[in-house]
Amino acid sequence: MPQTLYEKYGGFKTISRIVMTFYEMALDSDQIGDYFADVDMPRLIDHQTKFISSLMGGPASFSDDRLEAVHRALGISHADFDEMAALLSEALADHGVGATDVGLVLEAIEGKRGIIVARSAA
Amino acid sequence: MSLAAINEQLLRAIGVGVAVVRASDLTFVFHNQPFAEWFGTPGPGATLPEVMEALDPEELGQQQGEGLRYSAELQIKLKRRTLVFAVNISSADQPEEQLLVVECQNITRMRELESMIDSYSTMVERNTRELEREKERVERLLLNLMPRSVYEEFKTFGVVTPQLYPQISVVMLDFVDFTDFAARTDPTITLGELNDIFTAFDRIVEQYGCERIKTIGDAYLAVAGMPEPTPDHATAVAHCATRFLRYLERRNESHQHTWRARIGLGTGAAVGSVVGIQKYVYDVFGPAVNLASRLQVFAKPMHIVAPETMKAALSEEFHVSDIGPTEIKGLGAVDLVSVGSELSAPQAARRY
């Protein structure tokens, strides 16, 4: 089996740091922070932990249906999505993920654009 | 610098939010920088419950009356982020007036990490359960391919040592005119019927403590006395054989297709082992197996043939009649017997 990014970067001990950094960045961001403001902290962390783990090929199952259900009502725009991708790539780079691998994760996220961004925001 | 000055310096510098309020009206005497960052700078005349809105003044009042320490966990939102504080309030009796010391520890990160651990352990536990199920599935599959004791050996050592069993018995069944039947019947139906019958045989075999080794097309091979040795291996296979026939008789009465079988029994030595490295097959080899497969050919449809050497063991429980010496390919002249119904069987079907 090919090694996943999750394994390559040392498993959960690195992922947890990436999640923590991303969590702070996302809340601080004036572009997307407000989406998270009213979410219960444990739920938000749970969501982001699973999301980032599954993007990196870790032990999470985050189905597209679930992802869509969580974001459907939020009316997320393409600009929001781009900001999220930018913050995540920054968080990844901060924790030593190589540029090529950051590219891979961004590609994986790009694949989810259609289900995260609200349809009316096309 | 006086001790009081050092203390004040310390209170300002530490990362814990500290405030001192008057017990009488809860107005502020002192607060340090972290306290102001989290709860805002108390204005003149502001009281503790006004500044820390999450604090329950009633609860505080009760505790205060009893002169006890008050502890609570408070959550506030500071620029979208949920901050969690462990708040401790204790009274400090001064000669001039009673004061309350409010201590706020920022335990946000701790709570965040706890949430993350919860999330991670849920993921891992679910994965572990999935792996466990997968392992059980593989184990069940392997147990279909080999006896449990052999599987245990295989699991522990990665190999199975071929083992010689000096005394075992074999039952070999083959259907009459199967090739014809298969040629004129839809393969799905043939297979469905065969599957049905072999499944019934498997249950019979299990009931008598025998072990199904394999099916080869329409032939069915089971053994008794291996891998667990049993003294009554001969009668065990004979019981299976008679039950196989009885099952087929019953089935033929109510089904469209008639299945007729010949059965040969054999006894003697055999070797059992897993054959193959990539494609495991547990198989048996040896004279007992050869004997059963040769004798099966000599059986009339719906009859059981066994070597004379098994007569002594079988005649106590079965109707056994002599067939006499018969020339068998590769084995020379062998004395054969025909095995009939069980002696104790209530509905003794006449087969000979």
Domain boundaries, chain A: 5-121
pLDDT tens column, B287-344: 899 999 999 888 899 999 999 999 989 988 999 988 888 888 888 888 899 998 888 7
A34 contacts B116? CB cut-off 8 A: no
Strand B303-307 versus strand B261-275 pairing type: parallel
For residue A18, the distance in angstroms to the closest alpha carbon of chain B comes to 12
For residue B33, the distance in angstroms to the closest alpha carbon of chain A comes to 22
**Amino acid code (one letter) for B310:** M
The Cα B288–Cα B309 span in angstroms is: 11
For residue A117, the distance in angstroms to the closest alpha carbon of chain B comes to 22
Q: Searching chain A, which residue's CA lies closest to the CA of residue B75? A: A41
The ipTM is: 0.83
pLDDT exceeds 70 at position A122: no
Instruction: Please state, as a whole number, how many other Cβ atoms lie within 10 Å of the Cβ of residue B313.
Output: 20
What pTM value is reported for the model? 0.64
Using the 8-state DSSP alphabet, how is residue A4 labeled?
Answer: P
The whole-number average pLDDT for the span B157-180 is 89
User: Which residue has better confidence, B58 or B218?
Assistant: B218
Q: Searching chain B, which residue's CA lies closest to the CA of residue A19? A: B116
B116 contacts A20? CB cut-off 8 A: yes
pLDDT confidence bin for B348, thresholds 50/70/90: very low
pLDDT tens column, B252-278: 999 888 899 999 999 999 998 877 766
Interface of A with B in 9-48 (CB under 8 A): 12, 16, 19-20, 23-24, 27-28, 33-34, 36-37, 40-42, 45-46
Average pLDDT, chain B: 86
A16 contacts B113? CB cut-off 8 A: yes
pLDDT exceeds 70 at position B346: no
Tell me the helix, strand and coil percentages in chain B, rounded to 5.
40, 35, 25
Closest CA to B310 of B343, B284, B334: B334
Give φ, ψ of B4 to 5 degrees: -60, -40
Identify the residue whose tokens are 């039950």: B243
A41 contacts B112? CB cut-off 8 A: yes
A50 contacts B123? CB cut-off 8 A: yes
For chain B, domains (ranges, CATH) are: 3-106 (3.30.450.20), 158-342 (3.30.70.1230)
The Cα B165–Cα B229 span in angstroms is: 8
Give φ, ψ of B154 to 5 degrees: -60, -40
What pLDDT does A102 receive? 92
The Cα A37–Cα A39 span in angstroms is: 6
Closest CA to B48 of B66, B29, B34: B29
List of chain A residues whose C-beta atoms are within 8 Å of the C-beta of residue B77? 37
Residue A26 CB partners (closer than 8 Å, separation 6+)? A32, A33, A36, A48, A84, A87
A59 contacts B79? CB cut-off 8 A: no
pLDDT confidence bin for B68, thresholds 50/70/90: low
User: Which residue has better confidence, B276 or A95?
Assistant: A95
Grouping H, G, I as helix, E, B as strand and the rest as coil, residue B112 is: helix
For residue A60, the distance in angstroms to the closest alpha carbon of chain B comes to 6
The Cα A91–Cα B233 span in angstroms is: 70
Name the percent of chain B lying above pLDDT 90: 36
Instruction: Please state, as a whole number, how many other Cβ atoms lie within 10 Å of the Cβ of residue B156.
Output: 8
What pLDDT does B237 receive? 94
pLDDT tens column, B135-168: 999 888 888 778 888 888 888 888 888 889 999 9
The whole-number average pLDDT for the span B37-41 is 90
List of chain A residues whose C-beta atoms are within 8 Å of the C-beta of residue B115? 41-42, 45-46
Question: For the domain bounded by A5-121, which CATH number is listed?
Answer: 1.10.490.10
What pLDDT does B76 receive? 87
pLDDT exceeds 60 at position A121: no
Closest CA to B240 of B167, B322, B172: B172
Q: Is B128 on the interface with A (CB under 8 A)?
A: no
The Cα B337–Cα B265 span in angstroms is: 10
pLDDT tens column, A26-53: 999 999 988 888 888 888 899 889 888 8
Identify the residue whose tokens are 């197996």: B289
Q: Searching chain B, which residue's CA lies closest to the CA of residue A42? A: B115
